[in-house]
Chains A and B, each alone.
Chain A
Amino acid sequence: MPATTVSAAPSAPLRQPYLLIPLAWFVPGAGHFLLGRKGRAAIVFGTVLVTFLVGASMRGPLFHPVDTGDVLSRLIQFGGFLGDLSSGIFYFAATFLGYGPPDVAGYSPDYGSKFIVAAGLLNILAIVDAFEISTRQKD
C-alpha cells in the first residue's frame, strides 16, 4: 500500500514584507491597512496620533542626538531621538510646523517628551506586527 503524504503548500508572503516596513514607519497603521486589516490600521493610527498629540500638548521637548556630554547623556539623547523619529509622519509634521519647545524643568514637559517617545515605540510594535502578518508568521 503506497504511503500517502500530505504536503502543505508553502505559504507565500501576503505582500513584500520589506516594503511594508518603511511604509508602516512613515504612516502608522499603513502596514495593517495594506494587508487588509483596516480596523486595526485605524486603531494603530489613532493610538499613535493621540499619544503623540498628548505629548506635544504637554510641551514635551524632542530629543536631538548630540556629540557633547558623557556617554549616558548621549545614549539617552540618541535613543530618545530614535523613539521620536519612529512616529514617522507625526514627527516630521511637528518639526516642519516648528514644534520644538525648550527643555524646561517640570513634570508636565517631562511626561510630554516620554509620551512622544512612547508614540514611536508603539509604532515600532505595530510595524513588527504588520511584518509578521505579511510573512504569515501570524494572522
Chain B
Amino acid sequence: MKLDHFETTILFALVCSVILGLVTKKTDEERLRYGLYCFGCFMAALFGIGWTMRILHG
C-alpha cells in the first residue's frame, strides 16, 4: 500500500479518534462527540503544522 503523507495522517487520526472516543466517555452520544472532537483536533494540528512548515520553509 502506498499512501502519501496526507492520507496516512488522516488514517492515523481516524483510528486514534475511534479508540479515544470509545474509552473515555460514558454514553454513546458523548463517545461519538468526543471522537469527532479528537478528529477535529488532529485535523487542526495537521493543517496548522503543515502550513507553519510551508511558511517557514517556503
Contacts and interface: CB of A to CB of B under 8 A. Distances in A.
B53 interface: no
Contacts of B15: 47, 50-51, 118, 122
Interface in A52-86: 54, 57-58
Contacts, number: 41
Does more than half of chain B's interface fall in helix, strand or loop, or is it mixed? helix
A54 B16 contact: no
The interface size bin for chain B is: 10 to 19
Contacts of A57: 1
B5 A47 contact: no
Given A54-B1, A108-B3, A126 B12 contact: no
Main secondary structure of the interface of A (DSSP, over half): helix
Interface of A: 40, 43-44, 47, 50-51, 54, 57-58, 107-108, 111, 114-115, 118, 122, 125-126, 128-129, 138-139
Interface of B: 1-3, 5, 8, 11-12, 15-16, 18-20, 22-23, 26
